[in-house]
């Protein structure tokens, strides 16, 4: 009997330690930053990304295109909360996944009958920041949509695919060597929770695709063009990897 | 009009030292960088920042090419009387912008 109790205790103890090791070891990029950079991100009056959020707020109200409709003509502002957490998502019309910035441009063309905004243009980044900022503090929630499965698999494959003259995959740095150093900078785990981010090195705000292209030229590969399906697939995979992590937009990164 | 982020107290007690923080959206183009075609981009920086408290200059700063984009400044002043703090940024190409903040001193 006593043996049985010990055995049960042992099982309970090992189950407990197992749940302890199963806790989430994922860390946002901000966890790898210096305290001063973290303070800059956390204080809205210091965070330069808020300049773009404010610009986006004004643009949201501004009529555009032939129909002279603004974003606000269709969307009550409150309805954008949590939207960014679900992107990239499958588009019924295009029959492929699109990012939030592509969705904004879709809306501009279809409803405002306006010219699409150029990728990485200040206006598009501002609108994207304004919409994403409304999901700050919410968990990344990739949609449970089977139509996305094959694209996610493609994205995962690309994440582990060696590319460029340096012959490195995303996973080799951001999974195997995350927390280590590349030159003087620490390698983060590549969770896209703060995008669009204000990067001090860029001295401006930039999209996740700019960051991805940056990494690609870093390993001396030919970067995919902005909006390319390959980048959207990578974004889809990154969203699944970061599922449940909290959105920080606008993030500040060194 | 450039976008600004200003953080300052709305009220203060007479004799309090108050902190004012101001960021302005500005490219601070150095005048040394080439564009994609190799041509040097013309300099476009903010050269001077000043803060006037009811007309009296309480803080000013000169800026140069080495200052990064979207410059942030924090400074202190003594709360003496209710009134307006006028923050002015001036720079190349006739850039000039003033933001007024109201301070009530009890």
- Is the CATH number 3.40.1390.10 carried by domain B4-105? no
Scan for tokens 């012959």, then name that residue: A167
Q: State yes or no: is A170 an active-site residue.
A: no
A53, A125 contact by CB (below 8 A) = no
Residue spans of chain A under pLDDT 50: 1, 3-21
CA–CA gap between residue A137 and residue A42 (Å, rounded): 12
**pLDDT score for A78:** 64
Rounded to a whole number of angstroms, the distance between the first and last alpha carbons of chain B is 33
Residue A49 near residue A205, CB atoms below 8 Å: yes
Nearest beta carbon to residue A48 from set B7, B23, B27: B23
B37: tokens are 């075609």
Closest of A181, A194, A178, A170 to residue A242, by C-alpha = A194
Task: Tell the CATH topology of A31-254.
Answer: Cytochrome Bc1 Complex; Chain D, domain 2 (1.10.760)
Asked if the bond preceding A196 is cis, omega within 30° of 0, the reply is yes
Q: Which of B89, B95, B96, B78 is nearest to B19 (CA)?
A: B78
DSSP-derived letter for residue B40 is B
Residue A79: per-residue pLDDT? 76
Nearest chain B residue to A44, by CA? B5
Q: How far apart are CA A111 and CA A197, in angstroms?
A: 28
At residue A233, what are phi and psi to the nearest 5 degrees? -60, -45
Strand partners, A90: A97
Neighbours of A91 (CB within 10 A): 14
Q: Where are the domains of chain A?
A: 31-254
Query: Which alpha helices (H) appear in A168-221, and where do they start and end?
Result: 170-171, 208-218
Closest CA to A250 of B81, B73, B3: B3
Q: Before B96, cis peptide (omega within 30)?
A: no
Chain B residue nearest residue A198, CA to CA: B70
Q: What is the pLDDT of residue A20?
A: 40
| Closest in B5, B21, B68 to A51, CB measured | B5
Out of B3, B21, B68, the one facing A45 most closely (by C-beta) is B21
Give the pLDDT of residue A23: 83
Confirm if B78 and B15 have CB atoms less than 8 A apart: yes
For A115, phi then psi, to 5°, come to -65, 140
* pLDDT at residue A55 in the model: 94
- At residue A43, φ and ψ (nearest 5 deg) are -105, 115
Note whether B28 contacts A: Cβ–Cβ < 8 A.
yes
Q: Nearest CA to A43 among B89, B5, B10, B11?
A: B5
Please, how many CA atoms are within 13 Å of residue A14, restricted to the half-sphere of its CB? 5
Encode pLDDT of B63-96 as tens digits: 999 999 999 999 999 999 999 999 999 999 999 9
C-beta of residue A209 within 8 angstroms of C-beta of residue A125: no
What is the residue extent of each domain of chain B?
Answer: 4-105
Query: Which two three-digit tokens encode residue A77?
Result: 């502002």
Instruction: Please state the pTM of the whole predicted model.
Output: 0.88
What's the pLDDT score for residue A9? 46
| Segments in A48-174 forming alpha helices (H) | 49-61, 71-74, 100-110, 122-133, 149-160, 170-171
On whether any CB of chain A is under 8 Å from the CB of B33, the answer is no
The b/e string for A176-191 (b: 16+ C-beta within 10 A; e otherwise) is: eebeeeeeeebbbbbb
Q: What is the pLDDT of residue B3?
A: 92
* Distance from the B106 Cα atom to the nearest Cα atom in chain A, whole angstroms: 25
Pairwise CA distance, residues A221 & A54, whole Å: 35
| Percentage of residues in chain B having pLDDT higher than 70 | 100
Q: With an 8 Å Cβ cutoff, are B28 and A51 in contact?
A: no
């Amino acid at each position: 009997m006593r043996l049985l109790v010990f055995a049960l205790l042992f099982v309970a103890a090992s189950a407990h330690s197992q749940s302890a090791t199963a806790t989430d070891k994922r860390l946002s990029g901000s966890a790898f930053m210096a305290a001063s950079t973290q303070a800059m991100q956390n204080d809205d009056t210091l965070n330069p990304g808020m300049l773009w959020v404010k610009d986006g707020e004004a643009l949201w109200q501004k009529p555009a295109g032939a129909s002279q409709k603004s974003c606000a003509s269709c969307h009550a502002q409150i309805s954008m909360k949590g939207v960014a957490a679900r992107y990239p998502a499958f588009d019924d019309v295009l029959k492929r996944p699109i990012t939030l910035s592509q969705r904004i441009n879709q809306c501009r063309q279809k409803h405002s009958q306006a010219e699409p905004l150029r990728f990485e243009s200040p206006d598009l980044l501002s609108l994207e920041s304004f919409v994403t900022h409304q999901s700050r503090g919410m968990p990344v929630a990739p949609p449970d949509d089977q139509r996305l499965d094959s694209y996610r698999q493609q994205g995962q494959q690309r994440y582990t695919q060696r590319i460029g003259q340096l012959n490195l995959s995303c996973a080799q740095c951001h999974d195997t060597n995350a927390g280590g150093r590349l030159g003087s900078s620490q390698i983060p785990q590549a969770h896209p929770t703060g995008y669009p981010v204000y990067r001090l090195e860029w001295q401006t705000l930039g999209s996740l695709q700019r960051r991805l292209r940056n990494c690609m030229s870093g390993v001396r590969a030919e970067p995919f063009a902005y909006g390319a399906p390959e980048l959207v697939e990578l974004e889809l995979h990154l969203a699944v990897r970061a599922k449940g992590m909290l959105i920080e937009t606008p993030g500040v990164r060194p | 009009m450039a976008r600004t982020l200003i953080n300052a107290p709305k009220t203060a007690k007479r004799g309090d030292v108050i902190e004012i923080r101001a960021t302005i959206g500005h490219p601070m183009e150095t005048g040394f960088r080439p564009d994609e075609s190799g041509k040097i981009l013309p300099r476009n920086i903010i050269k001077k920042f000043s803060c006037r408290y009811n007309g009296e200059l309480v803080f000013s700063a000169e800026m140069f090419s080495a200052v990064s984009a979207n410059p942030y400044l924090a400074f202190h002043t003594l709360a003496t009387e209710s009134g307006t703090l006028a923050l002015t940024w001036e720079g190349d190409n006739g850039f000039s912008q003033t933001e007024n903040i109201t301070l009530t001193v009890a």
